[in-house]
Amino acid sequence: MAQKPSIPKGTRDFSPTEVARRNYIIQIIKKHFEVYGFQPIETPSFENSETLLGKYGDEGDRLIFKILNSGDFISKVDDVTYSSKKSNSLLPKISEKALRYDLTVPFARYVVMHQNEIDFPFKRYQIQPVWRADRPQKGRFREFYQCDADVVGSNSLLQEVELIQLYDAVFTELKLAGSTIKLNNRKILSGIAEVIGAKHLLIDFTVALDKLDKIGEEKVKEEMLDKGISEIAIEKASPLFAMNGDAAEQLAQLKSLLADSEVGMAGISELDEIIRTVKELGLKSASLQLDVTLARGLNYYTGAIFEVSAPEGVSMGSIGGGGRYDDLTGIFGLKDVSGIGISFGLDRIYLVLEELGLFPERLDKSIDVLCINFGEKESLASLKLVGKLRENGIKAEVYPSAAKMQKQMKYANNRKVPYVVLIGERELLNQEFVVKTMATGEQETYSLKNHGNFIDTL
Amino acid sequence: MAQKPSIPKGTRDFSPTEVARRNYIIQIIKKHFEVYGFQPIETPSFENSETLLGKYGDEGDRLIFKILNSGDFISKVDDVTYSSKKSNSLLPKISEKALRYDLTVPFARYVVMHQNEIDFPFKRYQIQPVWRADRPQKGRFREFYQCDADVVGSNSLLQEVELIQLYDAVFTELKLAGSTIKLNNRKILSGIAEVIGAKHLLIDFTVALDKLDKIGEEKVKEEMLDKGISEIAIEKASPLFAMNGDAAEQLAQLKSLLADSEVGMAGISELDEIIRTVKELGLKSASLQLDVTLARGLNYYTGAIFEVSAPEGVSMGSIGGGGRYDDLTGIFGLKDVSGIGISFGLDRIYLVLEELGLFPERLDKSIDVLCINFGEKESLASLKLVGKLRENGIKAEVYPSAAKMQKQMKYANNRKVPYVVLIGERELLNQEFVVKTMATGEQETYSLKNHGNFIDTL
C-alpha cells in the first residue's frame, strides 16, 4: 500500500517560482560579495561532533541535529553506559557527526585547517544551508540558508566601512530603498556599563532603553529600577534618553557621557572614523543609524555591531546583522586573528520582497517559447527551430506530443509562456512559422530561414 | 586546550578556486537545463525515514545517514525494545528522519505531494547534495552533488531525443569534444533474454558481452558457458558478437536477431526513431553509439538507457547516465506516470576537466583590481575609485592597511590579481592613478576623473 508522503516539520519544498525568487536574491548578494573581493568557500554539511558541540551554549547543543553512526551502532555501547539508559551518556557513543548549526564555526575550523594555504586578510563568503532543531514558526525553519561574508586577519576599520557599503549595495539592487543599517560598538556598551557601574545589568539596561520610542522615558526608567538598576546609575546615563540628531550628532552627545571611560572613548573613536568615512563615500539608498541599544551577540562581538532593518512599514525583524569579533579561531588553536562579518537573512528578505511586490515578473515565466506539436514532420521542423533558439540562450521547447490544440495552449497558459510558435502543415510547406504573443494575442509570421528576425525581437 | 580540527571522512572543504571550478560546471549544466525548458525545484536535505527506507534495497538502506531524534531520544524507547539491545529494533524508535540518498525518490515524493499544482509534462531539474555512508575512495565521497533533469508525464520519444541533445550541448560547451553517448533500451535486453531463452542470466550475458573488445569472442563465450548460458543460446545470440557499423547499421543487424521477439522489435522501433531523429537534428561534438551491453539500473529502467563516457584517453567511468522509467511515482500512490531522466556526474566531470586542463584560467583569479594602501588620505581616494569599479561589476578592493609595499604586492601576487592600482601622495595631488599590469609589469597613468578609460580596457 502506498504511503501518503509528507516532509519533516520545519522543512520546505521549493517550487520552480520559489527557487527562481530565492536565486534572484542569492545572485544579487553573491555578485556584490564578489565585487567587494570576497571569495566563496564551501564546507561539508556535517562536521565532527566535537567541532560543533560546546560552541553555541547549552541551548545551541540541544538544537544541533546529530547523525546516528552507521551500521550496528548500538554494539559499540558498553554495558554500563547502556544500562544507564540516559540520552546524554549514550549520545557520544552512537553519534560522532552533526549537521552544521551555522557557517561561522565551520569557517573558523576551515581557517585553522587551511591556514597555510590562505593569504591573509582572507575575505570569504559562504552561502549554504544550516540546520537547527528549533520549534518551527512563521519565518523560522529547521533548514535554512545563511549568506555570510567575513574578513579574518585584518583589524582595519576599512572593513567596517566596506561592510556597511556592501549592505547598502545589496539592498539598493534589491530595490529595498529605505533600509536602515544600525551601528553600535561593543566598546560603547562596555563604557555604559562602566558609567552605570553595573556591568552585569547591561543587557537589562539596553533592552529597557530600546523601548524608549514605544513606551516613553518614565516607563523605561521604571523597568530599569525593576531590574535592579540604581537611581544613581539611571541618572548618570540620562543623556542616553535624550539622544537626538544624526549619527555624528549622537556621537558628540556620547562623548560627554563616556568621557571618563577609556574603553567607551575608544568605541567612540572607532564609530567616529567609520561614520565619517561612510559619509565621505556616500550610501546609495540605505541610511546609517547609530543605535546604542543594539547589543546582538553581546558576548561574541568585540567591536562594531551591525543590524539591518527593512524599510519602514514592513513588520519584520532584522534582515541582516553582524559585527567584529576577536579570536574566533582561538577555539581551534589559532590565536589573535581578528575577524568581522555580516550575514543576510535570506528567508526574511524573501518575505519582505514578496510583501512589497519587488520580485521581477520575469521570475514567474517558465520558458520563453513553446512550439505547438502538429505531428511528426511538423515537430521536426519545430525541433530544428528550437535548437536555433536555444543556441541563442532562449528557453524553448516543443510540446512533446501532437495533443489537441486546446490542451497544448492550456499548457502554455499555465506555464506563463510569453510566445507560442506554430508550425503546421501550411507553415511547413511555406517554410515559415507563426509567433503568437500570448499577452496580446497578436500573430506574426517569420520565414524559417530568417529565424534571426524573431530572435531579435526577444 | 584547543582541538586540532578535522572533517569527517568522505567529506570535503572546497577552496575558492575549487568552488569557482565547480560552479563553472554547474552553471553550464544549469544554463542548458533551462534553455531546454527544465525548471529548478529544491527539496529538504532530510526526509521522513519512511520516504527513503526500502526504496534502494537493503544495501541502500544501510548507506542512508539517519538523524537522531532531538531531545531525550532514549526516553521514548519502551523497555522491551531497549532490553533487546539491537540496532535494528532501536533505530525506528530513536530516528525518524534521514539525509536524502539521491534526488530521484525525493522528486517522486515532490511530484505526488504537489500533483495538483504541477502542469504535466513536468520538466524539472535539481542540483543538490546527497549523502551516502559509503566507504570513501578516489572519486567517491559521502557528500556529493547530483545534477538531475527529469520529465514526468510524457511518453513521447522526443524526450529521449532532447536528452541526448542536452548531453551534447553541455559537454560541447565544457569543451569535452569526443564524448560518447551510449544508448540502449530495456526492451532490447528483454528481447535478447527471450532469444537466448534465459531471462535470469541476462545480466551475466551482457557483462560478458561487454568484454568483447578487450578479451575477444572466444573468451567471452567461455565466460558465458561458465555462467551457465547454454551453447544453443550463445549460438542464437551470435549476431551480437559481430555487430558493426554505426547505430543505424547495428540496428539493422539487431532486427534479424530479434525478429521473433515482440518486445525486442518494440525496442528496435524506439531506438530507430530516436537515432533517426537525432541524426536529422545533428549533434555538435558528441557521438551517439548504440551499445546493447549497456544495462545500468536493469530493474529500474523500462525503456531507453543512457550512459556517457569521457573522450577517449581519459580513464574515468561514466560521466553521466539515465533512462526511462515507468511508474516512479507509484511508490507514493500516483500510478501510470512515465518518466525519463538524466544525471551529470559533477565530481567525475571535474576530474576529467582537470586532467585535460579545460578549466578557464580566469577561474583562478580572485579579484580584478587591488589598490595599494598608502595611508588614510590616499586610501580614501582609492575607496572612491574602487566604488566606481564595483558599480561596473569589476571585483576590486583596497588593501586594508598601509602595510609595507612589498607585503601588499606579495598579497596581490598570491591572490593572482591581474591589475594593481597605485594612488600615492603624488597621484593624489595630480588627481590620477597608476595601473600596473602584473603579467607584464607595464604601468599606465589615468586621471581619476576619467576612470572610465581604465574600465574600458578591462
Domain residue ranges of chain B, discontinuous segments joined by +? 16-46+101-356, 365-455
CA B107, distance to chain mean position in Å, is 16
With H, G, I as helix, E, B as strand and everything else as coil, classify residue A301: coil
List the beta strands (DSSP E) in B114-171. Answer: 122-131, 143-152
CA nearest to A170 within chain B: B391
- The class level of CATH for A365-455 reads alpha beta
The residue to which cell 534502494 is assigned: B56
Is B150 annotated to bind a ligand? Reply is yes
Is cis: bond before B121, omega within 30 of 0? Answer: yes
- What is residue B241's predicted lDDT score, i.e. its pLDDT? 84
Instruction: Classify residue B111 by its DSSP letter.
Output: H
3-state secondary structure (DSSP) of residue B230: coil
Instruction: Please list, in sequence order, all residues whose beta carbon lies within 8 angstroms of the beta carbon of residue B341, skipping any fewer than 6 positions away.
Output: B104, B148, B149, B150, B151, B163, B322, B323, B325
Tell me the residue type at B36.
Y
What is the pLDDT confidence band of residue A3, given thresholds at 50, 70 and 90? Answer: low
For residue A91, what are the contacts with CB-CB under 8 A and spacing of at least 6? A66, B68
Q: Does A16 touch chain B (CB under 8 A)?
A: yes
B83 contacts chain A (CB < 8 A): no
- Residue B186 counted as an annotated binding residue: no
- The answer to whether residue B176 scores a pLDDT higher than 90 is yes
B65 touches A at CB < 8 Å? yes
- Cα distance between residue B433 and residue A64, in whole Å: 51
Q: How many CA atoms lie within 13 A of A149 on its CB side?
A: 25
Residue B199: the pLDDT is: 78
In sequence order, which residues have a C-beta less than 8 Å from that of residue A331 and are 6 or more positions away?
A55, A105, A108, B2, B3
Chain B interface includes A402 (CB < 8 A) = no
C-alpha cell at B453: 578609460
Sign of CA dihedral B312, B317, B320, B325: positive
- B193 to chain A nearest CA, in Å? 31
- Mean pLDDT throughout A445-453? 95
pLDDT of A273 above 50: yes
ipTM tops the 0.90 cut: yes
B54 touches chain A (CB under 8 A): no
Which whole number is the average pLDDT over A422-441? Answer: 97
Q: What share of chain A is helix, strand, coil (3-state, %, to 5)?
A: 45, 20, 35
The residue assigned the cell 526513431 is B273
CA B14 to chain centre: 17
pLDDT digits (tens, 9 = 90+) for A361-383: 999 889 999 999 999 999 999 99
Q: Are strands A318-326 and B66-68 parallel, antiparallel or unpaired?
A: unpaired
Alpha carbon distance A152, B339 (integer Å)? 49
Residues of A with Cβ-Cβ distance to B113 under 8 angstroms: 5-7, 13
| Other residues' Cβ atoms within 10 Å of the Cβ of residue A227 | 14
**Residue B338 CB coordination number (10 Å):** 20
Chain B environment of A272 (Cβ under 8 Å): none
**Cross-chain CB nearest to A281 (options B36, B71, B384):** B384
Q: Is A424 helix (H, G, I), strand (E, B) or coil?
A: coil
Chain A hits for B154, CB-CB cut-off 8 Å, are: 400-401
Nearest to B96 by CA among A103, A166, A26, A7: A7
Instruction: Indicate the average pLDDT of chain B.
Output: 93
Task: Say if the Cβ atoms of B16 and A390 lie within 8 Å.
Answer: no
Which residue, B126, B18, B5, B351, is CA-closest to A42?
B18
User: Residue A154: closest CA among chain B residues belongs to which residue?
Assistant: B400
Name A188's Cβ contacts closer than 8 Å, sequence gap at least 6: A254, A258, A264, A267, A268, A271, A292
User: Tens of pLDDT along B210-243?
Assistant: 888 788 889 989 999 998 889 988 888 888 888 8
pLDDT of residue A298: 61
Average pLDDT over residues A72-79: 94
Q: What are the phi and psi torsion angles at A43 (to 5°)? A: -120, 160
Give B61's pLDDT tier (boundaries 50, 70, 90): very high
A261 near A195, Cβ under 8 Å? yes
Interior angle at CA A66, CA A65 and CA A68, nearest 5: 140
Residue A243 CA from chain centroid, whole number:
31
For residue A311, the 8-state DSSP code is P
pLDDT at A297: 64
DSSP state of A363: G
| pLDDT per residue as tens digits for the range A197-209 | 877 888 888 888 8
| Minimum CA–CA partner of A169 in chain B | B391
Q: A46-60 pLDDT, tens per residue?
A: 999 999 999 988 999
Residue B1 is predicted with a pLDDT of 43
What value does the CA radius of gyration of chain B take, rounded to a whole number of Å? Answer: 29
* Chain A interface, best mutation among B3, B59, B279, by max A CB count within 10 A: B3
Bridge partners (DSSP) listed for residue B148: B126, B343
pLDDT of residue A246: 85
Mention every residue, 6+ apart, whose C-beta is less than 8 A from residue B370. Answer: B396, B397, B398, B399, B408, B411, B412, B415, B417, B419, B420, B421
A61 touches chain B (CB under 8 A): no
pLDDT of B28 > 50? The answer is: yes
Chain A residue at shortest CA distance from B329: A2
CB contact under 8 A, B6 and A161: no
Task: Give me the phi and psi of A110, to 5 degrees please.
Answer: -60, -45
- Model confidence over B333-389: pLDDT tens digits? 899 899 999 999 999 999 999 999 999 999 988 999 999 999 999 999 999 999 999
Q: What is the CATH number of domain B16-46+101-356?
A: 3.30.930.10
Q: Which residues of A touch B66 (CB under 8 A)?
A: 67-68
Chain B residue numbers with beta carbons less than 8 Å from the beta carbon of A23 are 40
State whether residue B401 sits within 8 Å of chain A by CB. yes
Q: Which residues pair with B323 in a beta bridge?
A: B305, B341
Q: Is B102 annotated as a binding residue?
A: yes
Which of A4, A12, A65, A455 has the most B C-beta neighbours within 10 Å, making it the best mutation to test the interface with B? A65
CA distance B42 to B127: 8
- Residue B97: which H helix or E strand, with range? strand B95-99
The DSSP-derived string for B48-66 is EHHHHTTSSHHHHHHHSPE
B418 prior amide bond cis, ω within 30: no
Q: Taking 80 as the threshold, does the pLDDT of residue B164 lie above it?
A: yes
Record: contact B51-A5, CB cut-off 8 A: yes
- The beta-carbon neighbor of B159 closest among A5, A96, A400 is A400
Contact B40 A47 (CB under 8 A): no
Q: What angle do CA B139, B144, B148 make, to 5 degrees?
A: 110
DSSP state, A53? T
SS3 A127: strand
Option in A2, A73, A379 nearest B158 (CB): A379
Question: Cell numbers at residue A423, please?
Answer: 508550425
- Give the CA dihedral A69, A73, A79, A85, nearest 10 degrees: 70
Count of other CB atoms within 10 angstroms of residue A92: 14
Tell me what the mean pLDDT of segment A292-307 comes to.
Answer: 84
Helix (H) or strand (E) holding B161: helix B158-173
Mean per-residue pLDDT of chain A: 93
| Cα–Cα distance for residue pair A401/B196, rounded to 1 Å | 36
Please state, in angstroms and rounded to a whole number, the distance separating the CA atoms of residues A250 and A257: 11
**What residue type is B25 in one-letter code?**
I
Q: Cell 534582515 maps to which residue? A: A319
Mean pLDDT of B164-171: 98
**Res. B2 pLDDT band, cuts 50 70 90:** low
Q: Is A213 within any annotated ligand binding site?
A: no
Q: How far is CA A44 from each of CA A123, A206, A350, B7, B41, rounded to the nearest angstrom? A: 19, 38, 25, 8, 22
CB-nearest partner of B46 from A8, A63, A156? A8
Report the residue of A1, A4, A6, A13 to disrupt the B interface, i.e. the one with the largest count of B CBs within 10 Å: A13
Average pLDDT, integer, range B188-203:
85
The 10s digit of each residue's pLDDT in A221-258 is 999 999 989 998 888 888 888 888 888 889 999 999 99
- The rounded Cα A410 to chain-centroid distance in angstroms is 37
The residues, any chain, with a CB within 8 Å of residue B352's CB and separated by 6 or more, are B176, B310, B314, B316, B319, B358
Residue with more model confidence, A69 or A213 = A69
Residue from B39, B93, B283 to probe the interface with A (highest A Cβ count within 10 Å) = B39
Q: Which residues of chain B have a CB within 8 Å of the CB of A46? A: 8, 11, 65, 131, 143
Q: Give the A window 226-255 contacts with B, CB below 8 Å.
A: none
Contacts of B393 in chain A (CB under 8 A): 31, 35
Mutate to test the interface with A, among B160, B335, B397 (most CBs of A within 10 A): B397
Q: Is B445 left (phi over 0), alpha (psi -120 to 50) or beta?
A: beta
Rounded Cα distance between A358 and A390, Å, is: 29
- The residues with which A150 forms a beta bridge, in sequence order, are A124, A341
Confidence at residue B200, expressed as pLDDT on a 0 to 100 scale: 82
Query: What crossing angle do the helices spanning B212-226 and B202-209 adopt, rounded to 10°?
Result: 150
The answer to whether the Cβ–Cβ distance between A16 and B37 falls below 8 Å is: no
A430 — contact with chain B (CB < 8 Å)? no
Q: What is the pLDDT of residues B287-346, one digit of tens each?
A: 999 998 888 766 678 999 999 999 988 888 899 999 999 888 998 989 989 999 999 999
* Confidence band, pLDDT 50/70/90 cuts, at residue A2: low
Of the CA atoms within 13 Å of residue A1, those in its CB half-sphere come to 1
For residues B3 and A50, the answer to whether their CB atoms sit within 8 Å is yes
B365-455 and B16-46+101-356 share a CATH fold = no
Q: What CA–CA distance (Å, rounded) separates A263 from B405?
A: 32
Over the stretch A133-158, which tens digit does the pLDDT of each residue have? 999 888 789 999 999 999 999 999 99
Asked if A363 and A17 touch (Cβ cutoff 8 Å), the reply is yes
pTM of the full structure:
0.95
Using the predicted structure, report yes or no on whether residue A107 has a pLDDT greater than 80: yes
Instruction: Say if CB B63 and CB B101 are below 8 A apart.
Output: yes
Nearest to B44 among A7, A366, A415 (CB): A7
| Secondary structure (DSSP) of B294-358 | --TTTTT-SSEEEEEEPPTT----EEEEEEEEE-GGGGGT--S-EEEEEEE-HHHHHHHHHHTT-
